[in-house]
Amino acid sequence: MYAAATGVVITTQTGCAVGATSCGGSYGNNIKIKHGDGRVSIYAHLKSLKTGIAVGSSVACGSIIGYSGNTGLSDGPHLHFEIWSDSTISQRLDPFAGYWNSVVYRWDPILYYYGIVNPYAPYPSTTCQ
């Protein structure tokens, strides 16, 4: 797993096993990173964190922070990624929100099939900023 943006690690959870559905508040092994604009990103259901990642660690955009897994309340290996407006989880943000401020998930092929998503619309940046 690569850090999506530069920031500082504010919480980590390790030691969760596959099938331990309540471990880490159902997120399993996870890491929360606070970014310069106050937003917080969470990477959940990880197999493990990269050695050396701990609360207070600075992480650079694009650096390895952990490894994909299936811990916590999960039905298979995947990355559960969220962006919060701040560390209180007062508002979750959707970086893939579609036009007209509706929630449209670009990775759903059914939306392409039915023409709900414009495949030529610009995607969020793929480079570190």
User: Which stretch of DSSP H or E encloses residue 81?
Assistant: strand 80-84
Domain boundaries, the chain: 7-90, 97-122
The DSSP secondary structure of 2-42, one letter per residue, reads B-SS-EEEEEEE--PPBT-TTTTTTT-EEEEEEETTS-EEE
Identify the residue whose tokens are 């929360």: 32
- Report residue 122's pLDDT band, with 50, 70 and 90 as the boundaries: low
Task: Determine contact, residues 41/35, Cβ cutoff 8 Å.
Answer: yes
Q: Is the dihedral of CA 91, 92, 96, 97 positive or negative?
A: negative
pLDDT in tens, 12-61: 999 998 888 888 888 999 999 999 988 899 999 999 999 999 999 999 99
pTM of the predicted protein model? 0.74
pLDDT in tens, 48-107: 999 999 999 999 998 999 999 999 998 888 888 888 887 776 677 765 555 444 444 445
**Domain 7-90, what fold?**
Glucose Permease (Domain IIA) (2.70.70)
